Amino acid sequence: MAHRDDHRGIEDSLADLELLDMLTAPAFPNAHELKGAYKRRDADLDPLLLAAAASYAHVTRNHYAHDFFPAIGDPRAEGAYDWTKWQPGAARQERKPRLKYESRQAPRSQRLKQLGLEGKENDSVRTTSTPLRAADNLPLPTPKIAPREPSSSSASASTQVPPNPELEVQCMARTRVPTPHGPVFLHLYHNNRDKKEHLAIVVDPAQLQEDYPSLAPSIRSRTLDAIWSDSETEMDRITRGAYVGRLSKDSQKPSHPGVGRAVTPSLDTIPSPLIRIHSECFTGETIGSMRCDCGEQLDEAIRQIALPITVPDPSDPARTVTIPGRGAVIYMRQEGRGIGLLSKIRAYNLQDLGHDTVTANLLLGHQADERGYEIAAAILRDLGLGADGLEGVRLLTNNPDKMHALEEEGIRIVERVPMVPRSWQRRQHHKLGHDLADAHGYGEDERVKGATMIGGGEVYGEDLDKYLRTKVLRMGHMLPLLSDTSDS
Ligand SMILES: Nc1nc2c(ncn2[C@@H]2O[C@H](COP(=O)(O)OP(=O)(O)OP(=O)(O)O)[C@@H](O)[C@H]2O)c(=O)[nH]1
């Protein structure tokens, strides 16, 4: 639209305004007079989109890799019509010639042919030439796991796999994670039965001491500590977590197969490791749902496992020594007792209609519990827990099916430890005096409000400090550093 001081003058401005009114008013007052005077200008496409498409050279963001970019900015390349010089009624201006677009990249079909991927255009393929592949800068050898058991519908004659390959689990990586209950070692497992990444949260802080083995054998993954290939380097082993002691700039000791297996003479006097087989629960663990106590159970399991243990001193049986708690939570990706999150959410709606958790599952065509424990048992064996000839386990559960399933898988359970919900413990605490709560290691005022990890209290410590400082100093996060605020 023209400006008042513009050489075109007031008439042009009024004409522009009239046209704008015509286009934007809900009903133009003299519509009957003007009918047919203007061509309708309803845009089928967003005008901004059209403007962007028409502007500048024929550039989309997919063209950035191409070769004409040096020419952008060159006046010869800017061959588009100069609209600032437009005059009403003026003759169409000469257009400057555009530079011819040339790409140095061969056509896609030729590039695919070179890579032997002809005809696979739509497959999601990663080629060696793909830039910025996360794994490129850290190639890790991976051990072979037998292929997944084929389902009857997917098995074809051309891809013959043994019908029921023996279950194999493989710990792919392990790392230390500080938690409010002390350090744990998070282990990530693959297996040849399902495509899920099951986890083991191993509590065994004695491993962090330089001068271990301690009184009890270390809880370590056999498959992680194994040699994966002749070509693996010490750095490969350390990067995947196959190290001993505490990893730091000054301490980098790769582990060797069989580390931590030695059965110490004092083993009979040390309680068996405390174990929980926990099933994933997004709602309870992540968003603090109070529809279940899964978040609390996970927190409580780690807390109980990490409680220090008092044992007879091997050098003087008349005295006792305290050793760090030990055990593991095997965290199975069996959301909603195996029915999955989608079905569990639907089941919750049925529960709101008055059905209980079991009926809701059944109404959806599921079983009350669709979990299996073969993989959990295999992970326990890999960690040297409950297996033949090694330590038995104390199992934290109220679920008899879980106990039986594990025993059927050959896991030796020497004791069942009940999982009492904290709110019940509190009520018991009121009824019976302080004995029960004290027996579980905390009193009325401590932690009873924290139903989940989320409500569980403040997180602090050396590792968190370091992490936050790096974010401020290297990533520009807007947080006052502790030293900056100490004076204020
Ligand atoms: N389908 C369904 N799953 C639920 C519901 N509430 C919790 N879960 C799931 O139940 C599983 C939790 O089970 P566990 O913590 O192993 O508990 P459990 O089998 O009762 O046994 P213990 O706690 O060991 O005594 C998680 O996968 C949750 O997602 C529900 O209402 N419906």
Structural domain for 3, as ranges: 1-34
Indicate whether 349 belongs to any domain. Answer: no
Instruction: Please state, in angstroms and rounded to a whole number, the distance separating the CA atoms of residues 370 and 296.
Output: 22
Q: Which H/E stretch holds residue 183?
A: strand 182-191
Using H for helix, E for strand and C for coil, what is the string for 234-288?
A: HHHHHHHCCEECCCCCCCCEECCCCCCCCCCHHHHHCCCCEEEEEECCHHHHHCC
| DSSP per-residue string spanning 155-178 | --GGG---SSPPP-EEEEEEEEEE
Q: Which residues contact 181 (CB under 8 A, 6 or more apart)?
A: 203, 302, 303, 305, 306
484 is catalytic: no
* Residue owning the nearest CA to atom 1 of ligand 1: 336
Task: Please work out whether the CB of residue 286 comes within 6 Å of at least one atom of ligand 1.
Answer: no
Indicate whether 255 belongs to any domain. Answer: yes
Nearest residue to 184 via CA among 196, 175, 194, 193:
175
- Which mutation among 291, 344, 402 tests ligand 1's pocket best, with the greatest number of atoms within 8 A of CB? 344
Q: Give tens-digit pLDDT for 293-302.
A: 888 889 999 9
Q: Which long-range contacts (CB under 8 A, 24 or more apart) does 74-77 make?
A: 74/99
Ligand 1 atom closest to 339 (CA): 1
Indicate whether 296 belongs to any domain. Answer: yes
371 is catalytic: yes
Indicate whether 242 belongs to any domain. Answer: yes
Indicate whether 274 belongs to any domain. Answer: yes
Nearest residue to 60 via CA among 97, 123, 96, 103:
103
- Total domains in the fold of the chain: 2
Question: For residue 267, what are the CA distances in angstroms to 47, 304, 310, 314?
Answer: 78, 20, 13, 10
Nearest residue to 217 via CA among 178, 179, 265:
265
Q: What is the pLDDT of residue 481?
A: 74
Task: Please work out whether the CB of residue 336 comes within 6 Å of at least one atom of ligand 1.
Answer: yes
Place of tokens 């002749």: 230
| 174 and 318 co-located in one domain | yes
Ligand 1 atom closest to 338 (CA): 27
Q: What share of the chain is helix, strand, coil (3-state, %, to 5)?
A: 35, 15, 50
Q: Give tens-digit pLDDT for 275-291.
A: 999 999 999 899 888 88
Query: Which residue of the set 204, 225, 299, 369 is catalytic?
Result: 369
What ipTM did this prediction achieve?
Answer: 0.98
Task: Please work out whether the CB of residue 419 comes within 6 Å of at least one atom of ligand 1.
Answer: yes
Distance 348 CA to ligand 1 centre (A): 13
Q: What is the pLDDT of residue 260?
A: 66
The domain that contains 263 carries what CATH number?
A: 3.40.50.10990
Strands 413-417 and 393-396: parallel
Task: Please work out whether the CB of residue 294 comes within 6 Å of at least one atom of ligand 1.
Answer: yes
389 burial via Cβ count (<10 Å: 0-12, 13-18, 19+): exposed
Q: What is the pLDDT of residue 65?
A: 43
CB 349 within 8 A of CB 363: no
Indicate whether 238 belongs to any domain. Answer: yes
Query: Which residue of the set 237, 303, 371, 381 is catalytic?
Result: 371
Instruction: Please state, in angstroms and rounded to a whole number, the distance separating the CA atoms of residues 23 and 40.
Output: 8
The structure tokens listed for 192 are 């040849």
Question: For residue 459, what are the CA distances in angstroms to 68, 101, 181, 225?
Answer: 53, 57, 10, 31
Indicate whether 208 belongs to any domain. Answer: yes
The structure tokens listed for 485 are 């605020």
Indicate whether 28 belongs to any domain. Answer: yes
pTM over 0.90: no
Q: What is the DSSP letter of 71?
A: G
Q: What is the pLDDT of residue 375?
A: 97
Task: Write down which residue in 363, 390, 419 finishes a domain.
Answer: 419
User: What is the block-wise mean pLDDT of the chain (488 residues), using blocks of 10 residues?
Assistant: 52 73 62 58 60 55 46 46 59 53 70 76 45 41 61 46 80 95 96 96 90 76 95 94 93 85 62 96 89 88 94 83 94 97 96 92 95 97 89 92 94 92 67 51 44 57 78 80 48
